[in-house]
């Protein structure tokens, strides 16, 4: 299966690169791209998914961090999992895929309507 050639965004980047950049600085880059990119649905989808995903990651990290022993034991695996998810989502966007995470991807897609 071949990926269609990327389109340009209103900010002048190719959409695959802009989609990957939506994840680069997690919530911050997602919000910035949502503010500056008003047209490209591929980029906006990844920006919404980035914001929703990493807000969820932050909430889970705060909740786990508040647990005395369990939080400490799960901190390293949680950081590894969040980093792997971050890299995976950036890779998928860079390859031109509109990869949807369960629940969050559907929610991000609904925001495009």
In this structure, are residues 8 and 36 in contact, taking their beta carbons and an 8 Å threshold?
no
| pTM across the whole model | 0.91
Task: Give Cα separations from 99 to 12, 63, 78, 84 (angstroms).
Answer: 23, 27, 22, 15
The string of pLDDT tens digits covering residues 12-54 is 899 999 999 999 999 999 999 999 999 999 999 999 999 999 9
Residue of 65, 11, 75 whose CA lies nearest to 38:
11
pLDDT in tens, 43-93: 999 999 999 999 999 999 999 989 999 888 999 999 999 999 999 999 999
């Amino acid at each position: 299966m071949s990926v269609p050639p990327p389109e340009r965004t209103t900010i002048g980047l190719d959409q695959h690169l802009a989609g990957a950049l939506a994840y680069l600085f997690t919530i911050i880059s997602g919000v910035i791209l949502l503010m500056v990119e008003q047209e490209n649905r591929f980029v906006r989808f990844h920006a919404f998914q980035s914001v929703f995903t990493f807000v969820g990651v932050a909430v889970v990290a705060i909740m786990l961090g508040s647990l005395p022993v369990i939080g400490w034991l799960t901190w390293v695996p949680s950081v590894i999992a969040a980093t792997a998810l971050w890299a995976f989502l950036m890779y998928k966007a860079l390859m031109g895929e509109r990869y949807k995470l369960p629940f969050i991807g559907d929610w991000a897609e609904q925001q495009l309507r």
